[in-house]
A and B are shown apart, each in its own frame.
Chain A
Amino acid sequence: MGSTSGGKTPAGVGRRDLIKRSAALGLISVPTMGFLSACASSGGGGEEKAKAGKKTAKNPLGVNDTAQMEFVLFDGGFGKEYAQDAVKIYEKAFPGAKVKFSATQKIQSTLQPRFNQGTPPDLIDNSGAEQMDMGVLVGKNQLADLTPLLDAPSYDDPNKKVRDTLRPGIVEMGQFDGDPVWIMYYAYTVYGVWYSRKALGSLDEQYPETWDEMLKVCAKAKKKGIAGWTYAGKYPYYIPFSLYPMIGKVGGREVLDAIDNLEPNAWKNPAVKACFEAYFELYRKGYVLQGTPGLDHIQSQTAWAKGKALFIPNGSWVENESANVIPADFDLAVNAPSGLDGSDKMPFGTIWASGGEPFVVPAKARNAAGGMEQLRIMLSEASSKNFTDKVKSLTALNGGTTGLSLTPGLESGVAALEKAGSNVLNPRLQDWYVQLQKEKIGVSGLGEMMAGRLTPAEAIKKIQGFADEAAKDTSIKHYKHQ
């Protein structure tokens, strides 16, 4: 190519041609880019909201009986049948309304674009591995306040508000800061130590109430070639299901509250140290099933169901999830965590129980009243019983199990709740600070300690460091117990 410009040399391209070319390119691409950038986020203002219907005794939320209601359900361990049954009741109550129901495992990938465009559905079960971050949704004003639902009369008894029919802690769990209730947790999960009554019976042992007894039972099991404990080694954030309530039992509720509030030195409380050391003792004495740190939740549950280990920290979904590996005569049971000794602040029976399956109504939903009405239907006694019957789990509705034939695990869960009475704990780290709880405290702290790679003192120091970091991190929203 010649160095002179403008001249049309036979082989090359001159400067002017280059300019012309780029101009042509620009002409085409600029408008297209503008068009595309409008798509990627900040979509249109959304469709218009449905007009409110008339409020009556039968329709206390004022649902527009001709407006469409869209309901997206997480299709997980509980399946979708229970929700479809509830949708049928909605359709019966509002024959003129169309219900668009869909179930997916990919909540976030399905719904994230719709939130971005401002056209979310009216009711969402925001659950599963692809759960959308609640803190972010609330922080960005994407959720509707469910207070109207809670103050509406319940489906079964017009003289009772929905709020008064729920289990303890459900309403508080749906709040973040202040009064609005953003989330309605539909399922009710009992966390604790799960075991086979039969296996324990064959050792001539009762469920241990203190840690000395626990060590004794484990020693006895070890002699027979059975490990005392196993846990989801790749997801060590299952350990807190029994460890946190133990900390609460030993040191009192305030210790857990301080941890949730990310207070400085919250983890340095003596109760935390004592409980960490108790768990570390399990590792040190060889009471943890060999290879546990390399197992995932299914593998560890299977080893446990096969009788290789006595105890596993888990939630009440384990009965449904492990149904195909639990032998028929297993006699599954859950118990509140063992304490240290008689000087514990809370009695034996103190347990962690809290809501699961978070349902939300988006702030930009077209038919928010419809979404809430659907929830009101699901919280009726009939729908709740249907759920418990189908998926072996309790619902947020207090009671509602009379007349049902309960499976062993569910039955022991109900018994454990009865025994706990008001001593129900509800640590919030796992819904307030997901990454802190799962990765940092769970995997890098507790997981490393239980694998024997950290001492309890080192683990506490590391975890306190993570908590302090999270407290300072301005990119996450911070919450406090009220």
Chain B
Amino acid sequence: MQHGKYRFIVGFLAAPLGLYAIFVVWPFIQSIYYSFTDWTGLSPDFQMVGFDNYTRMFHDDIFWKSLWHSLLFALLLPLVTISLALFFSFMINVGGRRRRGGPAISGVRGSSFYKIVYFFPQVLSIAIVALLFAFAYNPDSGAINSLLRGIGLDGVQPLWLGDPNLALWCVMAVLVWSTVGFFVVLFSAGMASIPADLYEAALLDGAGRAKTFFRITLPLLWDTVQSGWVYMGILALGAESFAVVQIMTTGPGGPDYSTTVMVLYVYQKAFRDGQAAYATTIGVALLIVTLLFAAVVMRLGRRERLEF
């Protein structure tokens, strides 16, 4: 009996799809529409201005700076975070020395403790993390410079967030610190599902840690790594980079715009300068960058699935 089946399916799909259209698709369309107006965000009247906002954006140095920083965030952060997380979770789950009477495959000593320690930053709100580090980076009385003084490096007192050459890296380091634990747990879960016989076979064949990692763990974990990469990249383009930059470097986004990112620039244009239309224009650019990023990662990372 096929008759009525589609009506049945459509009936069920209409409501969720409608909701999706209203709350997800429609705002996108609306902001694209606003990017062609001169809406200030402070008054209900505006006019269509065609591509003016886009021309302006292409000539806006701060936009290009923020785009460059956002791209750095999207490329470097996942690379560093995921590499670190892979290393940590490998050591926790597989990398241990064989102990008498223990299982053939195990993590380093105290690995369950490390797992908790790594995950700990994840329970803190990103705002708190950013504030804590802002204090730590304080060049006058912050923890880092005090430590440097404490070990006799009086001459080395960087300005950290006050130095345009360092500020962006300082901010990125905080994001790595606060997210790496999540991926350690994610990858640990992935590794737990890899059959131990594979490792045992590799051990018998005399494979060392590095070889085991690159020949067995990484290929079998590839799907998880790939989704982790997209997830981290989108975080780095969006909410998290906004929070750390806004809280830690305050003002316009670091000294001499050294940490301005696209989301921050959108926020400033919309909620400080009364240029909501221009803000949506930058938002559209951010949307395109994010989509491109996801597409590129999915495409580059495509490979055959392994069955085991």
Contacts and interface: CB of A to CB of B under 8 A. Distances in A.
Contacts of A133: 40, 42, 272-274
A13 B14 CA distance: 16
A276 to B, nearest CB: 17
A28 B14 contact: yes
B271 A109 contact: yes
Contacts of A32: 18, 22
Interface stretch (A240-248, A326-334, A445-453): A445-453
B256 interface: yes
Nearest to B165: A453
Nearest to A18: B6
B41 A28 contact: no
B214 to A, nearest CB: 41
A303 B142 CA distance: 12
Interface residues of A, dominant DSSP: helix
A351 to B, nearest CB: 26
Contacts of B292: none
Interface residues of B, dominant DSSP: loop
A299 B140 contact: yes
A444 B43 CA distance: 31
Contacts of A37: 30
Contact of A116 (B41, B162, B250): B41
A222 to B, nearest CB: 16
A294 B159 contact: yes
Contact of A41 (B6, B44, B255): B44
Contacts of B6: 13, 17, 20-21
B256 A294 contact: no
B29 to A, nearest CB: 8
Contact of B42 (A115, A234, A295, A435): A115
A80 interface: no
Contacts of B161: 234, 294
- Kindly name the residue among B26, B138, B140 whose own CB sees the greatest number of chain A CB atoms within 10 A: B140
B42 A291 contact: no
A293 B162 contact: yes
Interface residues of B, number: 46
A466 to B, nearest CB: 11
Nearest to A131: B272
A395 B307 CA distance: 76
Interface stretch (A135-143, A153-161, A213-221): A135-143
Contacts of A8: 2
A83 to B, nearest CB: 23
- Kindly name the residue among B42, B56, B159 whose own CB sees the greatest number of chain A CB atoms within 10 A: B42
Given A29-B21, A435-B273, A140 B255 contact: no
B96 interface: no
Nearest to A21: B10
Contacts of A33: 21-22, 26
A40 interface: yes
- Kindly name the residue among A130, A442, A451 whose own CB sees the greatest number of chain B CB atoms within 10 A: A451
Interface string B254-284: 0111000000000000011111001000000
Given A29-B18, A294-B140, A443 B255 contact: yes
20 contacts: A20-B6, A25-B21, A28-B14, A41-B46, A118-B44, A133-B273, A234-B255, A293-B139, A294-B162, A295-B140, A299-B140, A435-B272, A435-B273, A443-B255, A443-B256, A444-B252, A448-B164, A448-B255, A453-B256, A475-B275
Interface of B: 2, 6, 10, 13-14, 17-18, 21-22, 26, 30, 39-46, 56, 137-141, 145, 157, 159-164, 249-252, 255-257, 271-275, 278
Given A21-B13, A132-B274, 5 more contacts: A8-B2, A24-B10, A136-B275, A442-B251, A447-B255
